[in-house]
Structure 1
Amino acid sequence: MANLPPSHYPDIGHLGEDLVAQWLQSTGWIILHRRFSSRWGEIDIIAQYDGRTEEKLLTQHSALSTQHSLLAFVEVKTRSSGSWDAGGRSAITTQKQAKIWRTAGIFLAQFPEKADYSCRFDVAIVYCQRISKNLTGITASQEALATSSVDGYKFKLQEYIPAAFDSSIDNG
């Protein structure tokens, strides 16, 4: 049996990011960018949450109307169950955090109108499993925040960690 070319297989990481982006949107977030890259690295998802409601009606000052806006720079880790790196958690090293932090700085420099927003660095843990055509057993699993099935795989947003790491990383 011949091996299929790599282009035949789905990009599991991108499909995991799709699930997280859909879940964020369903919870009131606006997706600003996907796979934003700079020379320092890439941020999987940049999302904005606007806490502006009645406050916008009460004031004409733009500084006040942005005080509840929040940007989330989201790192998505998609893994199969039993992965060697704790579901992707241990892959988010201090070096990786510094790259994300620097890339977030590039984003804010490119979009200065967002520079006064509160920012945080979130991590989403997505598990994927190949869907077997001969699935006969029942498996127990934790409740997922969101699920999807795409291209013969089942994806579960198992954990979403707001403010997973601090922005005060040493840039040295």
Structure 2
Amino acid sequence: MRLVDEGVGGRMVEVGGKNVDLDSQAEPACGQGSYGHAGGDLRPVPVGKLGSYGSALAELGLTYPQYLTMLVLWESSEPLAVGDIGVRLHLDSGTLTPLLKRLEDLGLATRARDRADERRVLISLTSRGREMRMQAANVPLRVFQRYGIDVETARGLIQDLTKIVDSLQRGA
């Protein structure tokens, strides 16, 4: 994802080769899983909405992109290749690599070459990274409550908005 334009009409970013108006996008869907997140695809969040997550994530010591990356890692029981994480997050490896290095520096993940294919780098959670999953379970609830939305309503909105964004990106 890269900033394309920040003019009078709003902020535009390029995501997966398509320009997306950040000011018209909804809150991101959170990763699906048993740790209390709303379910759905992981999408970029409008820059102006990051404050909604800020206080909850500050307690974890994570930025929003790091949090999304952790969601992807928590959903997998096996190590994930950098490319696979990038596909889920709609990020290229050049953007993702420094983020993963920072998670490694924080002691939350490890990076190792795939023994079967030395070109691939696999990312695994450390025990500290796995333990953080429970601490992060209430992040979406806290954000929803801030806006006065219950979890079921949020899930429905996220699913509907994800369908709309997918249709727009397909050009339907």
TM over 0.5: no
TM-score, structure 1 as length reference: 0.26
Structure 1 or 2, whichever has the larger Rg, is 1
Q: Which has the higher strand share?
A: 1
